[in-house]
Structure 1
């Protein structure tokens, strides 16, 4: 299904149908992902699962002006999307890039948020110099998207140390992941990196205590030392007493792929504890 928000088309799907009496969890994928990212959560009837393709990804609009890809513009769209679907209170789940989007969305429109689940996300980079360095880093990836084939880009992206633990997955699954990412469009990926990457993202650290007024679950893989440390800091800074860090054993950056059953159980148990 598709919905038009301010002349941009967003693809969305109710992964397990919609029941008015159930709480709703909106799921946001990471860079080069799609609304299929959290399909493994669909085999349950506790919550409605609404999955979206973010701009530049999947079946959502791609060829838009650069400013539409900025975080501030994107979350305006997403809030309007939720309103058009008549969702007044909902949970957010985001992975990596989607986790940053979910955080920005929840801190900007906290009145709509019942709770936030961040899987391996950051509130931003502290210090103008550090952010400038990251923008150069992101720009280099954008240049690769212009100069290389998409399959070459995907291979280089997956070769990063951050994703090393995914090489322990079955070969068939690794190939399926690679093929799915290779179906994206270079322009959309470049616009996302340039305008919504970590280097372009504003620093939300100072807002965690003052605006984080709803429950938080932070998920980090045991092998993902960078985001495990970030998760500890986020939970410590969070402004609501129900802030929890859960470490997913034997997993790296992408816990929902590497330990899907443990990921699902953790998410559903946390939601159930809040809906008692």
Structure 2
């Protein structure tokens, strides 16, 4: 279905029955990221799965203000209002995890349970953020100048995703096909507007979270494991789980295990 928010058409999938669970994909992904979990999670949750701005079938406007992470959180709030949903469980992966955390900070009464897969609260210092903004601006220019095919080849080869090369070729090809369906301008604007260097740092806000929080990191993703350890120390109601034989994209690399962990957390079995 399509929902208009401030003149921008957002695509979302809605399925399943039960307490609402919003699923937020990562950079270069879309709602189909979560399709393999629809049957399992849809048996206990009403799934609300948007394409984040600049991705999938959601529109990719030129104005960068729409891509600011707080703006996207407001858009998500409007989507929930228009679908008649008040309180939610919220799961986000990587960029979608940063958006999920942003939403939980901005609208704390809306979130019952928060699941963050391979996510961060942003960068703590302005110096770190400035350096990251410069790198993201170079990547955005690369997408526009060299095209989506060249960028996706580069993106899939960065160290963060090396463990995904162990996946069957059919799975890797399916992921690449999905990534190549995105708008080059949408991805470039996402880097500029919603990148880790552009968003606020939420480290100081972590102690104010009152919802239950589950942090998930892959055993081989040492960078985000370090971040999750620091987050868990600041969040009152946090559980942190390390998933064996996995890197950054746990939901792809260990999908069956990931699906069960999420279901167990939502049903208070963890």
Interval of TM-score (by shorter of Structure 1 and Structure 2):
over 0.9
Q: 2:65 aligns with which of 48, 52, 67?
A: 67
Structure 2 Cα separation of the partners of residues 39 and 119 of structure 1: 17
> Which residue does the alignment assign to 1:5?
5
Instruction: Give the match's secondary structure for 2:32.
Output: coil
Q: Which runs of 4+ in 1 moved over 4 A?
A: none
Counting only pairs closer than 5 Å after superposition, residues 1-276 of structure 1 correspond to structure 2 as 1-14=1-14, 16-17=15-16, 19=17, 22-44=18-40, 45-210=43-208, 212-238=209-235, 240=236, 242-273=237-268
Structure 2 Cα separation of the partners of residues 82 and 64 of structure 1: 24
TM-score (norm 1): 0.95
1:109 shift after superposition: 0.2
- String of CA shifts for 1:157-206, please: whole Å, max 9, x gaps: 11100000000000111111111101111100011000110010110000
Structure 1 Cα separation of the partners of residues 178 and 145 of structure 2: 21
Structure 1 Cα separation of the partners of residues 62 and 84 of structure 2: 26
Question: Which segments of 5 or more consecutive residues in structure 2 lack a partner in the other structure?
Answer: none
Instruction: Give the match's secondary structure for 1:76.
Output: helix
The answer to which of 40-49 and 93-102 deviates more is 40-49
Structure 2 Cα separation of the partners of residues 250 and 64 of structure 1: 40
TM-score (norm 2): 0.97
- String of CA shifts for 1:31-63, please: whole Å, max 9, x gaps: 010011111211220111111101010111112
**Number of aligned residues:** 268
RMSD: 1.2
Structure 2 Cα separation of the partners of residues 46 and 76 of structure 1: 26
Structure 1 Cα separation of the partners of residues 8 and 233 of structure 2: 37
Structure 1 Cα separation of the partners of residues 163 and 123 of structure 2: 24
Structure 1 Cα separation of the partners of residues 128 and 75 of structure 2: 29
1:72 shift after superposition: 1.4
Structure 2 Cα separation of the partners of residues 164 and 60 of structure 1: 29
1:84 shift after superposition: 1.0
